[in-house]
Amino acid sequence: MISCNHLVNKIKKLGFEFDIPRIRLAFEFANQAHEGQKRFSGDPYIIHPLEVAMRILDFHPDEDTVIAALLHDVSEDTDRTLDDIENVFGPGVRSLVRGMEKLSQVRSRVDEPEVENLRKMFLSMASDLRVIYIKLCDRWHNMETLAYVRPEKQRRIAQETLNIYVPIASRMGIYSIKANLEDLCFKFLNADMYKLIHEQLEFYTKQNTNFINTEKDTLTKFLHKRGYNCRVASRLKNQYSIYKKLKKKGRSLVSDLYDIYALRVIVSDDLEDKLYQILGEIHSTWSPLANRFKDYVAVSKPNGYQSLHTTVVGLGLEEFNRPVEIQIRTESMHRQAEFGAAAHWLYKYHENPDMYNSEKCLDWIHELKNVESSIKNNTEFIENLSMDMFNDRIFVLTPKGDVKDLPESSTPIDFAYAIHTDVGNHCVMAKVNDSVVPLDHELRSGDVVEVITKKDSEPNHYWLSFVVTSEAKSKIKSYLRNADPDKTFKEGRDVINKYLESIGKPVLDPDLLVLKRFKGANLNQKQRYTLVEEVAIGKFSVKDLIKDIYPMDLLVKPKTKKSVKNSKNIDFSKEILVDGQPVNFPVKKTNCCIFKLPEPIGGFVTRGSGVSVHNLKCKVFQNTDDERKIKLQWKDTQKSDMYVVDLSIEIQDRVGLLKDVVEVISSFGVNILDVSLRESSDSTKTLKLFSLAVKDYDQLVSLIMKLNVIENVIKVSKIN
C-alpha cells in the first residue's frame, strides 16, 4: 500500500514546521481522486505527485507549495474541482493548483492556442514563483519516465523541455534541475551521442578518480593548514554540457577536454570576507591561467549566482598535471547555486507574501509581462520570446557599475534601449571599455559600455538588421512607424537601392516598376509605394523583398562540385556526417567493407572504440542490433551547391583594413578563392575579391551588409 511516510520523514528531517496531519490529508485527497489511474509505466498515478512533492522539499517551500505539489493534477485529471480543493485546503492552495492547471497545455509549437498557453505560463511566473518550482519538478519526473511513451512523443516532449524549461531553470539559477533536464533531453534527442559520451565519461571517471581525489585532498590540506574552515568537493560537468563543449571545440574525445570537472571550495558564511584572500593564496601557490578568472561575487549574475572562478595548473600529480577549474564560494552561495536565488523566498513566503513583489525577485520575470502586453501579434511574440528568453545571456556594465542582463550577441543599440527609450532613439556613438566601437559591435560579458547621444539623432532602418532584443526592435519600429511619411518613403527607397547596388542591379526607377510583380502579384503604384514604406519601418525585410525579385540563380552561377573518386584511404573524420553534423567521436575503419563515395553507409556503436563504419549492404552491419545502429552520410552528398560571386570593395586605405575585411569574410565561413588590388587615381583603392564561395542568398547579403560598415569602406558591390 502506497503511503506518504517517506514524504513526512523528509519534512521532519529537514526541520520544516509543517502541519503534518494537513500534509497527510492532502495525500489522501489526491490518492482517492487518482484512484484507478495509471502512469504509462503501469505504476499507480499517485506515485507522480508524491515524487514531485518529495523533490520540491529541496527548494525550501512553504506548506501550501508541498500540498499543491500533491494536488497539482487533481483538478484537471479527476472529477475533483478547484472549489473542492479550496473548501478543504484554502484559497492559497487553490491559486497554486490553478497556476499549474494553466501551464498543463504548454507546447512549443507556434500557433494560436500554443502561444496563448506560453503567455499564460509566463504571466503565472511573474505572479507566483512557487508555481514554476512545482512545474519544473513535475517536468523533471515526467522526463525520467519518458521511456514509456511512444518515440515521436518522446522527441516532442524532450525538444519542448530543452526549448522552454531548461532556459527557465537556468535563468532562475536552479542548476540542479537544469543539468538533469539537459541530460534527459539529450538522451532522447540524440541517443547515439548520449551513449558515446556516457561510455567515455564512465571510462574517464574510472581512470582518473584517484587523480581527482588527490587534487581535492591536496587543496583541502593546503587550506586547512592556513586555518580556513572549508570543504572541497569535485563536480563533473553534465553530459549535455560536455557534448556542447566538444562540438564547440571540434573535439571528439572527452579526454581531450581539461575542464570537464571542477573543484569547489565551500567556506562557512562567516568567511565571506576571506574569499579573495583564499583566491590569492591559491594563485600564489599554483599558476593561474590567463583570461580564466571570473568574479561573480563582486558582480553577481542577475539570477543571483555568486562565486569566484579561476583555473590553475600544477595542482595535480605529475602524470595528471593538467589545468583544473576551482570555484570558491560560501555555503549560502553554494545553496543558491544549486537550488536557485528564489529558494529562500519560497520558505519565507507565509511570513511575508509581499516579498514576491520585491525588486530582488528576479526582475527579468516581471519584464515578461510587459513583453506580452505590448505585443499583439502571436508570431512576433514567439520570435521575441525566442530571442530574449532562450538565448544565452551576457552581463554588461554601465560606467557607474550597473549591470544590464542582455541576450548573447547584443549590441550597443540593444544596451542603449535597455537603459531608456530616449537613450536608444538618440544614440549616435558608443564606447566599449573606453574605445569607440561601431553601433553593431557585439558586446561581451564584463564590457563597460558608454552611450553618447545627440538630440537630433534618430533610429534608422539599418539598426533593425543587427539588434537582437525585442525591446530594441519594437521601439525602433515604433519610432520609424511614426516618422514623416515622405521621409519614411525616402529612407525605404534608399535602403532598397543600397541593397540593389550591392548585388550589382539597377536602382529603383521613379515608378518602382521592378516591384510590380512582387510575389507574383500585379501591384499598382500606390501598393508599390506602401511596400517601400513597410521596408523602411521594418514591417518587411529588404532581404526577402530583393530575394523575391532576384532569385539566387539569377545573381550568381553555381559552383561545379568536385567529382569524388573511389578511395581506400578515406579520412572518415573529415568525410562523414552524423545527422548532418560533423563527426566528433572516434571512428573505426572496418576490413569487411570497400567504400565508394557516395554509396550509402551506416555505423554502429562499439564498446570503447567509438563507431564502426560499414556499407549498408554489409552482412556484419545488417546483423547488428538495431538499437546500436546510427545514421551516417558522406559529407559531399549533403552539401548544397556553392555559388561563386565577385565583389568590388571601394576603400579609403588605412593600416589594418585588409585584415579587417578578411576577418569579416572568414567569420561568415566564406572561402576566398582569389583576391587582387587595383589603385585608382583619386587616392582610393578598389579591392576586388574574386570567386567568393557563398552558400545562399542570406549569407551573401549579410556579408555585404557587414563589409559595408567596416571603417574606411566606401562601397561594396557585386560585379556582374
Could you report the per-residue pLDDT of 169-197, keeping only the tens digit for each? 887 778 889 999 999 999 999 999 999 99
Is 76 noted as a catalytic residue in this protein?
A: yes
Q: Is residue 400 exposed (0-12), middle (13-18) or buried (19+ Cβ within 10 Å)?
A: exposed
Spatial distance between the Cα atoms of 394 and 432, rounded to a whole number of angstroms = 14
136 versus 465: the higher-pLDDT residue is 136
Residue 108, pLDDT > 60, answer: no
Which pLDDT band, with edges at 50, 70 and 90, does 641 fall under?
low
Pick the CATH number of 5-172 from 3.40.50.300, 3.30.365.10, 2.60.120.10, 1.10.3210.10: 1.10.3210.10
Q: What percent of the chain has pLDDT over 90?
A: 29
Order of strands across the sheet that contains 576-578: 581-582, 576-578, 633-634
Q: To the nearest whole number, what is the mean pLDDT of the chain?
A: 80
Per-residue DSSP letter, 44: B
Q: Residue 506, preceding bond cis, omega within 30 degrees?
A: no
Residue 64, pLDDT > 90, answer: yes
Residue 352, pLDDT > 60, answer: no
Per-residue pLDDT, averaged over 645-670, amounts to 83
Residue 470, pLDDT > 90, answer: no
Which pLDDT band, with edges at 50, 70 and 90, does 480 fall under?
confident
Paired sense of beta strands 610-615 and 587-588, if any = parallel
Q: Determine the pLDDT at residue 605.
A: 79
Residue 410, pLDDT > 80, answer: yes
Q: Determine the pLDDT at residue 581.
A: 67
Q: Determine the pLDDT at residue 676.
A: 76
How far is the first Cα of the chain from the last one, in angstroms, to the nearest whole number? 80
The residues of the chain that CATH labels 3.30.460.10 are: 205-339
Per-residue pLDDT, averaged over 55-74, amounts to 93
Spatial distance between the Cα atoms of 628 and 606, rounded to a whole number of angstroms = 8
Residue of 28, 51, 58, 77 with catalytic role: 77
Q: Whose grid coordinates read 583570461?
A: 291
Long-range Cβ contacts of 375-384 (<8 Å, 24+ apart): 375/470, 375/474, 378/110, 378/111, 378/112, 378/115, 378/116, 379/110, 381/115, 381/118, 381/119, 382/110, 382/115, 382/118, 383/470, 384/470, 384/473, 384/474
Which pLDDT band, with edges at 50, 70 and 90, does 113 fall under?
very low
Select, from the ranges 7-11, 208-212, 580-584, the one with the highest average predicted confidence (pLDDT). Answer: 7-11
**Cell numbers at residue 170, please?**
537556468
The residues of the chain that CATH labels 3.10.20.30 are: 391-480
Q: Is the pTM higher than 0.75?
A: no
Q: Is residue 280 exposed (0-12), middle (13-18) or buried (19+ Cβ within 10 Å)?
A: exposed
CATH code for residues 205-339: 3.30.460.10
Spatial distance between the Cα atoms of 413 and 458, rounded to a whole number of angstroms = 12
Q: What is the pLDDT of residues 279-305, one digit of tens each?
A: 999 999 998 887 788 999 988 777 778
Per-residue DSSP letter, 563: P
**What CA–CA distances, in Å, run from 608 to 326, 613, 615?**
30, 15, 21
Which pLDDT band, with edges at 50, 70 and 90, does 659 fall under?
confident
**What CA–CA distances, in Å, run from 158 to 134, 151, 184, 188?**
18, 10, 8, 7
Q: Whose grid coordinates read 546483423?
A: 623
Residue 564, pLDDT > 50, answer: no
Residue of 19, 35, 76, 698 with catalytic role: 76
Residue 473, pLDDT > 70, answer: yes
Spatial distance between the Cα atoms of 665 and 170, rounded to a whole number of angstroms = 34
Paired sense of beta strands 643-651 and 557-558, if any = antiparallel
Nearest to 374 by CA among 302, 303, 469: 469
Class of the 643-719 domain? alpha beta
Architecture, CATH, for domain 391-480? Roll (3.10)
The partner residues of 431 in beta bridges, in order of sequence, read 436, 450
Assess contact for 585 and 193: CB atoms under 8 A.
yes
Is 653 noted as a catalytic residue in this protein?
A: no
Per-residue DSSP letter, 340: -
Per-residue pLDDT, averaged over 31-46, amounts to 93
Nearest to 171 by CA among 364, 331, 425, 395: 364
Which pLDDT band, with edges at 50, 70 and 90, does 367 fall under?
low
545: left (phi over 0), alpha (psi -120 to 50) or beta: alpha
110 versus 52: the higher-pLDDT residue is 52
Q: Determine the pLDDT at residue 577.
A: 77
Residue 111, pLDDT > 60, answer: no
Nearest to 104 by CA among 92, 120, 90, 82: 120
Q: Determine the pLDDT at residue 357.
A: 43
